[in-house]
Amino acid sequence: MRPGGKLRGHLRVPGDKSISHRAIMLGSLAKGLTRISGFLEGTDSLATLHALRRMGVVIEGPDAGRVSIRGVGMNGLRAPELPLDLGNSGTSMRLLSGLLAGQRFPVTLTGDASLCGRPMRRVTRPLTEMGADIQGTQAGTAPLHIRPVERLRGLTYRMPVASAQVKSSLLLAGLFAEGETCVTEPAPTRDHTERMLAGFGYQVRREGASACLTGGGELRACALDIPADISSAAFFLVGASITPGSELLLEHVGINPTRIGVINILREMGARIEVLNPRDVGGEPVADLRVGSARLRGIRIPEKQVPLAIDEFPALFVAAACAEGETRLTGAAELRVKESDRIQVMADGLATLGVKAQTTPDGIIIQGGPIQGGHVESHGDHRIAMAFAMAALRAQGKIVINDCANVNTSFPGFVSLASQAGLGISAPEAT
């Protein structure tokens, strides 16, 4: 990363990762042809696509974000010949665990070293309560071995952590269970599964903090236009905010209320973000976001925003490093079990760049100040790599970010899009 520069122009970041996974899963289980546009061609959502293909679903594409799925119906999946390798993708593993717990065949789910180090008991425990036969390692991690059972029973479950992946996993298992499955969350989390199930004609009852459905129904194929991923847009929201002279228009971004913590937090720090042309696209709210440079100030991040911005903290920590004063995050222990320990890895990288950051068990305290050049480690975590790329806009020297191949999990084409927007970025093997 060359230091300095500014971000200008208009751009559309790739499709939403969470919605892309769900579109493949529900389209595969539906009856009929589901046509998708705006699909994220990142290695995470492609892992889900390949997994469903290996279970006999005919999927055409992706071709410039277009995918067509010939749904096989609720009972049409077939046993894959080999274990399903889900790469780096936690969403694939947790959601597919639920979807596959009620099938008539055995299946093994595995992934890369990072994914096989992440906690899976949060899904295997409640799925076992539903009657599933699902075994992980002694440490509660993948590989997960799922064996067929006579039947699954609906479950009423109060989640101990605010996790959309757990909620979605149980709702997907609930489609194949007898009776009602009801999941209650301790704080609102992304609700794409509930919205999309409704779009596929499946009744989901939502009452306060609970989402409930009754097993045994069917999904009807539909057309889906996937918005740009606010989690990818977040890097540009931060990059433009921290750099004098920046002005960006981010087009067609998903602004589902369960995902907009990054906008709320940045605005509280003093950012200038405008939400333009809000509209509804297939049951998901979408808008264009205009962002310009601003003087940011440190804040205490409200804990209720944490699940709404859970993937955006690496970028927000860079904003905090560029803000005046101290930013304090609490109630975010979940960040330690993402693709990397995002509290520790960000603190280490910020320290390398001369920024004062003190970790706590469930958060971090960052003092805004000058950013120096240096070599930082992303530990194979896509969002850490992209966050430090944005830090270069305000750095006083060159920043080298190591281990960046996984940027392709969520943001293929990041290097060229970011460089078009004005970032001084080059990568030896970038696509």
Q: Please identify every residue annotated as catalytic.
A: 311
Q: Tell me which of 43, 91, 92, 243 binds ligand S3P, using CB under 6 A.
A: 91
Write b or e for each residue in 234-266: b if 16 or more Cβ atoms lie within 10 A of its Cβ, otherwise e: bbbbbbbbbbeebbbbbbbbbbbebbbbbbbbb
Strand residue runs (E) in 208-298: 210-214, 223-225, 247-254, 272-281, 284-292
Q: Is 88 in the site for ligand S3P (CB under 6 A)?
A: no
Q: Is 165 in the site for ligand S3P (CB under 6 A)?
A: yes
DSSP state of 301: P
Amino acid at 175: L
H runs (alpha helix) in 78-155: 90-101, 121-129
Write the interaction track for ligand S3P spanning residues 326-355; mark x where CB under 6 A is met and - where it is not.
--------x---------------------
Tokens 């990568």 map to which residue?
427
- For 208, residues 6+ apart whose C-beta sits below 8 A from its C-beta are none
- Cβ closer to ligand S3P: 1 or 142? 142
Q: Is 99 in the site for ligand S3P (CB under 6 A)?
A: no
Q: Is 310 in the site for ligand S3P (CB under 6 A)?
A: yes
Cβ 334 to ligand S3P shortest distance, Å: 6
Cβ 118 to ligand S3P shortest distance, Å: 9
Strand order across the beta sheet in which 205-207 lies? 156-158, 180-184, 210-214, 205-207
Strand order across the beta sheet in which 326-329 lies? 326-329, 363-367, 356-360
Q: Is 48 in the site for ligand S3P (CB under 6 A)?
A: no
Q: Tell me which of 103, 168, 241, 293 binds ligand S3P, using CB under 6 A.
A: 168
Cβ 187 to ligand S3P shortest distance, Å: 11
Kindly indicate which of the ranges 161-169, 257-265, 352-360, 366-374 contains the residues binding ligand S3P, using the contact rule CB under 6 A: 161-169
Is beta strand 66-72 parallel, antiparallel or unpaired with respect to 107-110? unpaired
**In the complex, which residue's CB is closest to ligand S3P?**
18
- Count interface residues toward ligand S3P (CB under 6 A): 11
- Cβ closer to ligand S3P: 22 or 394? 22
Q: Is 18 in the site for ligand S3P (CB under 6 A)?
A: yes
What are the residues binding ligand S3P (CB under 6 A)?
A: 18, 91, 163-165, 168, 189-190, 310-311, 334
